């Protein structure tokens, strides 16, 4: 099969999360070639007509979607949408799934309408909304960014910093979510809704006064405390069995709710009473060799080549 990897052009000034796309492209291209496919790399552009011409001229049988660095995750659905319009197979999430999950506030509304647990949130500086957070810690998040861009330890606020929160809300592309003080889990899902082993992110030796969040530092800044002390584990005690089963069931409900059919990851927080809260569905999560999704696949016995083959077949 001839496969075109569609990805972002990455500049020399790229941030670490943007540059990671290059590692994904190299790893996927190498795996596809080992699987016997011919591969070429094409670059995404806002000029959809130009991209369509490139895809048609390539004569490819399938597009492998590795576009991740658009200015807003609200635009990520354009890649599969173009392919769907062309009648071209495309790896990963459909345009519908990426559209519904691209705006985190709209995604939370969908979760709430479906009766699924998600942390409370506000999206304006209305004092009546802010009052609901009087006794709750808050986390300020971008509405339409991926890879923990814009999330740091300082994103966690208390009501005594509410003036700053008001100012942030007025910027229009941020929202305030209840900060769930507890554990964090990731549930990775293969195309077709196949659950991979659940992972928990452990905050090892964190000081009591430090917020436990998987922010930008924890994901990308290798020299930081957060990166070195945030550890993924697939090992659970027997008493976690019921919780892990419930997280898996919820993850599949979220996958179905967003009309997913490709690969995805659902992120959770679990409070100190053991109650789970859905943070988000991440369609087309990172698949660089050291990513959480690849680690979950390896835990299930998948080599990198076998995983890529699964993603191709899922298209």
Judge whether 152 lies within some domain.
no
Token pair 């993850």 is found at 251
Judge whether 225 lies within some domain.
no
Judge whether 48 lies within some domain.
yes
* CA-based R_g, the chain, Å: 20
* Domain count across the chain: 1
Question: What is the structure's pLDDT at 227?
Answer: 84
Least confident of 32-41, 107-116, 132-141, 202-211: 132-141
Judge whether 15 lies within some domain.
yes
Confidence of residue 168 (pLDDT cuts 50, 70, 90): low
Average pLDDT estimate for 222-246: 92
Judge whether 24 lies within some domain.
yes
Judge whether 292 lies within some domain.
no
Closest CA to 186 of 102, 266, 115, 256: 266
Judge whether 47 lies within some domain.
yes
Domain of 72, in residue numbers: 2-91
Count Cα atoms within 13 angstroms, Cβ side, for 213: 27
Q: What is the CATH number of the domain that holds 16?
A: 3.40.50.20
Q: Is the pLDDT of residue 123 over 80?
A: no
Judge whether 282 lies within some domain.
no
Tell me the helix, strand and coil percentages in the chain, rounded to 5: 40, 20, 35
pTM of the model: 0.92
């Amino acid at each position: 099969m001839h496969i075109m990897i569609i990805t972002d052009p990455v500049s020399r000034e790229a941030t670490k999360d943007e540059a990671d796309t290059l590692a994904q492209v190299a790893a996927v291209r190498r795996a596809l070639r080992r699987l016997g496919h011919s591969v070429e790399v094409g670059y995404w552009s806002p000029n959809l007509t130009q991209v369509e011409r490139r895809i048609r001229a390539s004569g490819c049988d399938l597009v492998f979607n590795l576009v991740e660095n658009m200015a807003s995750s609200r635009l990520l659905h354009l890649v599969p949408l173009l392919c769907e319009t062309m009648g071209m197979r495309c790896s990963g999430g459909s345009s519908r799934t990426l559209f519904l999950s691209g705006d985190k506030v709209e995604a939370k509304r969908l979760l709430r309408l479906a009766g699924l647990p998600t942390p409370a949130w506000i999206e304006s500086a209305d004092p009546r909304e802010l009052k609901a957070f009087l006794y709750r810690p808050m986390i300020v998040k971008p509405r339409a960014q991926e890879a923990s861009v814009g999330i740091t330890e300082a994103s966690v606020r208390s009501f005594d910093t509410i003036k700053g929160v008001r100012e942030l809300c007025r910027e229009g592309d941020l929202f305030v979510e209840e900060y769930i003080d507890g554990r964090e889990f990731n549930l990775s899902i293969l195309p077709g809704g196949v659950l991979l082993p659940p992972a928990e992110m452990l905050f090892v030796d964190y000081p009591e006064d430090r917020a436990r969040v998987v922010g930008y530092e924890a994901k990308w800044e290798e020299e930081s405390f957060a990166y070195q002390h945030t550890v993924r584990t697939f090992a659970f005690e027997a008493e976690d069995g019921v919780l892990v089963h419930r997280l898996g069931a919820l993850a599949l409900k979220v996958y179905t709710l967003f009309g997913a059919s490709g690969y995805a990851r659902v992120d959770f927080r679990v409070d100190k009473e053991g109650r789970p809260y859905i943070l988000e569905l991440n369609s087309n999560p990172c698949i660089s060799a050291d990513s959480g999704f690849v680690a979950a696949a390896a835990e299930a016995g998948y080599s990198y080549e076998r995983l890529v083959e699964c993603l191709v077949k899922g298209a």
